[in-house]
Amino acid sequence: EAQVTQNPRYLITVTGKKLTVTCSQNMNHEYMSWYRQDPGLGLRQIYYSMNVEVTDKGDVPEGYKVSRKEKRNFPLILESPSPNQTSLYFCASSLGNEQYFGPGTRLTVT
């Protein structure tokens, strides 16, 4: 089954404790991206990657890092999480202009 998977689905952590949210797709898509969803703001793009070893900032990259060492994986790294990064995070992959979304990761930073 073609899909985008994210782990973990839910995470509660404390300020400053480094964390990684994994994202994996099995569709051989070149393009992947990360979004955060906040009430009243819709989805905002954090980072995107056009292919392996090619990443670029989206609209809200501050406080986040990504890497793309393999085509299928695109992890999101929060080196020092802060409470304002409490949000719902979505990974997506695409070939062309249609994006396929993962199920989301709800992150709470206390």
Residues that bind another protein (CB under 8 A): 31, 33, 35, 40-45, 48, 50, 56, 90, 97-104
Considering the complex, state which of residue 85 and residue 93 has its C-beta at the smaller distance from another protein: 93
Considering the complex, state which of residue 58 and residue 63 has its C-beta at the smaller distance from another protein: 58
Least gap, CB of 99 to another protein (angstroms): 7
Whose structure tokens read 């990360």? 34
Least gap, CB of 46 to another protein (angstroms): 12
Considering the complex, state which of residue 3 and residue 15 has its C-beta at the smaller distance from another protein: 3
Least gap, CB of 18 to another protein (angstroms): 25
